Each structure stands twice: as C-alpha cells, then as structure tokens.
Structure 1
Amino acid sequence: MTSTTRRRLARTTAATAAAALALAGCSLGGGDDGGAAADGTGSSTGGGRLTVVTHDSFHLSQDLLDQFEADTGYQLEMVAPGDGGALVNQLILTADSPLGDVVYGIDNSFAARAIDAGVLEPYTSEKLPASAEQYAADDSGSLTPVDMGDVCLNVDHRWFAEKGVPEPTTLEDLTEPAYKDLLVVTNPATSSPGLSFLLATVGAFGEDGWQQYWKDLKANGVKVVEGWSDAYYVDFSGSEGAGPRPIVLSYASSPAAEVPEGGGEPRTGAMLDTCFRQVEYAGVIAGGQNEAGAHAFIDFLLSPEVQADIPGQMYMYPVDDTVELPAAWAEHAPLAEHPFTVDPATINAHREDWIATWSDIVTG
C-alpha cells in the first residue's frame, strides 16, 4: 500500500483544538505572495494568491495543480487545519477573519453545521455533472459534491477460510457468538470513519434501536481504538497481517489497495451491507478575498482530469460517473448498492448527543 493510500485511508480526528489552530500552510507556486489582482477579484488576468483550505488528507497529482496555476494565473496556497470535523470548527471560529477563499473536504457528517453557521457562499458550478446532483447536502447551493465513498467493515478472507468460520455479511451477524472478540472499530469522537460507522448504525436501526445494537456489540467483545491506522495495521489480521481480529472498520475501496503485486485476489473484502455513504464537498468561504478564484478551483475539482485523479490519490470515488475507474476498483472496490444514510440536518441536530450516548454505552 502506498503512502498516499495510507494518508487517505488513515483520516482520523485525533487533532486537538490547539493542534488545529497550528495551521499548516504551504505555497504550491513560486514567487512572492501575490495577492488579489488590481480589480480586487484575484482574476487570472492579474494572477494573485488563492488560499485553499482542506482536510489533512487532501492530495492531487502535482502536474494537475501546476496546470491549474498555469491556466488561471493563481498561486495556490494550501491550509490544512485537520480532519473534516476540525476543518468545519476552524471555519466557524475564524468566520470574522476567514482562513482562505475556498474549502474542500467538508463531508456529510458536518455539512449542515457549516451551512447553518453561514461560513459558505452559494455557488453552482456549470461543470457539476448530472450524476452528482443526488449528493447535494441541501438546496442552498453552498456545498458542491466532489467525491464520495463508503465506510464499511472489512473482513480477512484468509482468516475465515483457515478457521472454517462463515464470513459475516450484515451488522446483525456481528452480535452472534461466532464473531465474539473478532471486530475492531474506531471511536466516533476521535475518528471520521468511526463517526460514519456510528451513523450507519443509526441509519440501520433508528433512534430506538442503535443504542441496543451497540450494547450487544460491546457484550460480544468489540474493540474500540482511537484511529484508523491502529485498527487496520495493529489489530486487523488482514492487510499486513499484524493483528488477531479479522473484522475491521475501513472503506469499500480498501480491498483494491490489497491486490498483490502482479495481480490476483486481495486478502480482504468489504461487507457491503454495513456501509455508510460518505460525501465530500467544496465550497466558497464567505468573506474570502478571491471569490472568482474560489469558483475556478471548484470548477477545477469537477474537471474530468481531477475526477479521474481522485481514486488513485485520495481513495474516494469521483462524483462524475462517466469517469473510468482504475481496473482494480472495478473488480475489487464496488460501492454498496444500498448504503445506510442519515439526513445531514438530522446529523447536525443530534451528532454530539449521539457521540455522548455512544461513549456512555461503549467506553464509559
């Protein structure tokens, strides 16, 4: 697995508030800082700086970023305050003095919070593909869907074959005695996949049933760790084969990264009946200095070249369904046909209470 794959799959929310405030800024262009063009727009005619605020797993091929700068005249500066949750927190905390011009990496777990806080300006790109319309966070136009993927449980095929135990396929299976002490997940208070999995259980069992489900998982020996890296590389028996537990919380795309060199079947597979659909968005930051540049960058993210680059660089699916996927994805990383979903506004209204209740049940 490449370091890029590790970076995308290992998105966690372990950053503290102090660490989030220590923003990481780096310029992708040469020369001085530039600034807005003479007309104040930062348009390509005068060049200027375009500050892009992202989560800490943002990555695109450098030649595409270079081409964007060459085509538009903007000098890109990237600011990464942390994961998706930290990203939204910082946008809200700095609303009176915005971090940048355009944001990428807000997901549907925090989308409604960003919209309700008024830190985004509406923008509807003419380049938005028809296949992306289904992923709209709401009807305000404040967030543009850029990519999506499924957070799912993964299994170690080899472990189950060697032990002669049938592989689980559903969430309900994991409460059965045959799967006691076999599952490792991540904490929804400290991990983006962990929060997505909590939301999957809310979507699956409803407000009246998800709490009992977690009580049953706890009784059946679920292990909870702080971040994805520890779960996948320390406790999971698949992938690098380091741990004792053959079921782990990861992504539907993870098995594509486990295809052996030279080809063949991956050791792992995704349980596609356990998935939560995660969507990542871009938006124009309210009060930013370069609105025209923000529009141009969102258009860039929706371009066929960037959409085709996303699977290999960030291990997410493009929202443009006309883009050809890598061969390994087509064979080993299918999306769930019926993922669990929860309305972003409902998530925003209950997220903190759900996490607190989960903590009382599982780790309290």
Structure 2
Amino acid sequence: MTAFMFSKHSALRHLLAGVAFSAAMGMAVAQADDITVYTSYEEDEIAAFLKRAKEDLPDLNVNVLRLSTGDLHARILAEADNPQHDVIWGWAVTSMIDPRIGELIEVYEPANIERVPAKFRDKDGKWFATTGYMAAFCVNKEVLEKKGLPMPTSWEDLLNPVYKGEVVMPNPASSGTGYLMVSSILQEKGEEEGWKFLQGLDKNIAQYIKSGSRPCNAASEGEFAIGASFALRAIKNIQSGYPVAMVIPAEGAGNELEANALVAASKNKDAAKRFLDWTISDNAVKGYYDWKEIVTVTGGSMPENFKEAGLPEDISSVLWDMDFAWSAENRQRILERWQRELER
C-alpha cells in the first residue's frame, strides 16, 4: 500500500490513507515498486497529485515525507551521508540550487523534457521545475467592514498603523512562501531600505506563522484581517465560500518555482525515474492546473475560477522578476538577520 508520512498530525492524514487504500485495492497482486519522495507541496496538493499518479502508475508505491521548505532543507542536509529518499519533488528552486544539495542529486532529464522550457531547468540537467507559487494577501472583507479598515493594495499599504495586530505572515525560516516574500522585498527595495521596511511592517504583524498557507486560513476564519500567503490558497478559500479577497501586491508578487530531482544515492532509480517522467505527463499537468497558479509544463490552461478570483491570465504581468540565485546565495545570511532582529 502507498504510505504517507507527514511532519505533523493532519486532518488530511485520513484522507490520504483512504486514497492509498483505494489505490492499493485496485492494484494487481504483483510486487510493486517502492520509492520515497521528499516534498514541500501542501498536503491537499499531494493527495490530489498522487491520486492522478496512481492512475498512470498503479504498480508504483510512493512513500511521502512532507516538510515545509526550510525544514526539508535541514533534513536533507542532515541526512547527506545516508539519504533516505529517492526523489525530491515540488521543492523550492531557491533551496535546490544550494551547492550542497547539488552534490546529492544527479543528472536526469525525463522523457519529453522539452515540455519544460529551458529557463525552468538546471543548465546541467540536475533539476527541472514544473510548478510554482506567488505571494498574495488574503483579506477578510467582513473583518475590514466591521473594523472600518481600508482594503490594502500593496506591501506599502500594510505599514499603515490601522492594521496593527491585524496582519499575519509566514516565518521565512521555515516557510518557502515567507522567504520569497522577504527576498522579493529586499530585492525590490534594496537591502538597506528593505530591512527598514520589514522592521516597520513588524509593528503591525500579530504573528509569524510556520506555514505558508496558515496565514490565509487564519484570515479566512476571521482571526485576523490580512494573511500574507500565496495565491492558490486564497483562490481555494474563496472557492470554499470564505469572505476573502485575493490581493496581489502592487509592487509585484514575489514568487518561487518548485523543482524535481533524482537523488544520486537512490537504490530505486528505475522506479524513481518513472515517477519523474510522470511529473511532466498530461495527467500531471491537468492536476497542476487545479492547484497551481504557475505551471511551466506546456499544455493545459488556467481555470476560469482562477481568473474570477483575480488572477490575470498573463501571470508574468504581476510577478516580481526574482533573482533566484541571489535568494539562494544570501539565504543563510538573510534568515540569520531576520531571526536575530524580527523572529518572535
């Protein structure tokens, strides 16, 4: 049976177990291949993607460990002398291009890799990015009305003292969403002004939350007026009927690509390669467009409900042009300063 392992208890654990059980019941008696995959995809995304993978690869058992981006980075490095996984799946490019990670993965270019444009692939062929995410605010319209607060349109707006205690955002030390926000602000404003901005923003922050999705969920549930999160979580919560609006920062949305790679120490490389091939298949792309605002693989189209929630068809028009190499090279220094000056 497909196994799923998560870093913390989750209501979705039961759902995922059910998906695994149903898939297992439909499998032939023949011995299946097993791989272990490390990922930072959200748990509901994992469930949806693996359900599709099982349709195409019924004899492949995919064991998953899901950790937030920063925690997974630490885990992989801690296990560097004895990797426990076969594939890295849906993990931030900013982390993937760490030279220490590069030593742990090997070149593999899946069948039909040309479906992923060259700009979304490692020049040496060690990783390829299939999806991505972008920063957005989840703004609870009912809380704004109740408290007489204006609708924010930009990061700059969040410095307004009227939002004191009404803003939550992800902790960049553990959340890839949090780090892309901090990194994009520093890139857009320059480091000196960027740090001044973050210190000013801190005066209005009620909490720094470990997860990238939780700030949106907290705002959606009315705990706070504004949750700095990522666009797809805002869209999903709007679909679910929460009284939230998605606001894309006027300065340009920080963004991150999510990449896949083959672990050099894998003892199940043939099975791992089959899975990596699947990640750029038609069925995978259909799944990505249910959950991701950035899909790099050709084929498929943006769902109408994404547009209805406020996402432009031309995503590039609202994205900040991220320097991923700079984000990666300066990650440790930035996070150390953030933890020293702002973490609480």
Aligning the two structures, in what range does the TM-score lie when normalised by the shorter sequence?
0.7 to 0.9
Indicate the residue corresponding to 1:306 in structure 2.
284
Q: What is the alpha-carbon distance in structure 1 between the residues aligned to residue 193 and residue 165 of structure 2?
A: 22
Indicate the residue corresponding to 1:22 in structure 2.
none
Indicate the residue corresponding to 1:357 in structure 2.
337
Q: What is the alpha-carbon distance in structure 2 between the residues aligned to residue 98 and residue 56 of structure 1?
A: 20
- One of 275, 281, 291 as aligned partner of 2:269: 291
Q: Do the aligned partners of 1:159 and 1:246 also contact (CA within 8 Å) in 2?
A: yes
**Cα distance change of structure 1 residues 303 and 359 upon mapping to structure 2, 3 Å threshold:** same
Query: What is the CA-CA distance between 1:303 and the residue it aligns to?
Result: 0.9
Structure 1: which 5+ residue stretches go unaligned?
1-11, 16-25, 35-46
CA RMSD for the aligned pairs? 3.3
Query: What is the CA-CA distance between 1:50 and the residue it aligns to?
Result: 3.4
Q: Do the aligned partners of 1:170 and 1:271 also contact (CA within 8 Å) in 2?
A: yes
Query: What is the CA-CA distance between 1:156 and the residue it aligns to?
Result: 2.5
Count matched residues.
318
**Cα distance change of structure 1 residues 63 and 116 upon mapping to structure 2, 3 Å threshold:** closer
Indicate the residue corresponding to 1:183 in structure 2.
167
Q: What is the alpha-carbon distance in structure 1 between the residues aligned to residue 7 and residue 340 of structure 2?
A: 19
**Cα distance change of structure 1 residues 93 and 31 upon mapping to structure 2, 3 Å threshold:** farther
Q: What is the alpha-carbon distance in structure 2 between the residues aligned to residue 205 and residue 354 of structure 1?
A: 15
Indicate the residue corresponding to 2:70 in structure 1.
85
Residue deviations 1:65-124 (CA, integer Å, cap 9, x gap): 323334xxx532313052233333333333343323222022123121266541111122
Query: What is the CA-CA distance between 1:145 and the residue it aligns to?
Result: 0.7
Secondary structure, in 3 states, of the residue corresponding to 1:59?
A: helix
1:339 aligns with 2:327: no
- One of 69, 93, 96 as aligned partner of 2:57: 69
Q: Which residue identity is paired with 2:56?
A: F
**Cα distance change of structure 1 residues 151 and 128 upon mapping to structure 2, 3 Å threshold:** farther
Bigger proportion of residues as helix: 2
**Cα distance change of structure 1 residues 33 and 286 upon mapping to structure 2, 3 Å threshold:** farther
Indicate the residue corresponding to 1:44 in structure 2.
none
- One of 207, 212, 218 as aligned partner of 1:224: 207
- One of 261, 264, 281 as aligned partner of 2:259: 281
Pairs within 5 Å for 1:134-149:
134-136=119-121, 138-149=122-133
Identity score, percent:
19
- One of 193, 205, 222 as aligned partner of 2:177: 193
Indicate the residue corresponding to 2:3 in structure 1.
none
Q: Do the aligned partners of 2:285 and 2:299 also contact (CA within 8 Å) in 1?
A: no
Bigger mean CA deviation after superposition, 323-332 or 141-150: 323-332
Indicate the residue corresponding to 1:20 in structure 2.
none
Query: What is the CA-CA distance between 1:212 and the residue it aligns to?
Result: 0.7
Q: What is the alpha-carbon distance in structure 2 between the residues aligned to residue 227 and residue 189 of structure 1?
A: 8
Q: Which residue identity is paired with 1:207?
A: E
**Cα distance change of structure 1 residues 68 and 98 upon mapping to structure 2, 3 Å threshold:** farther
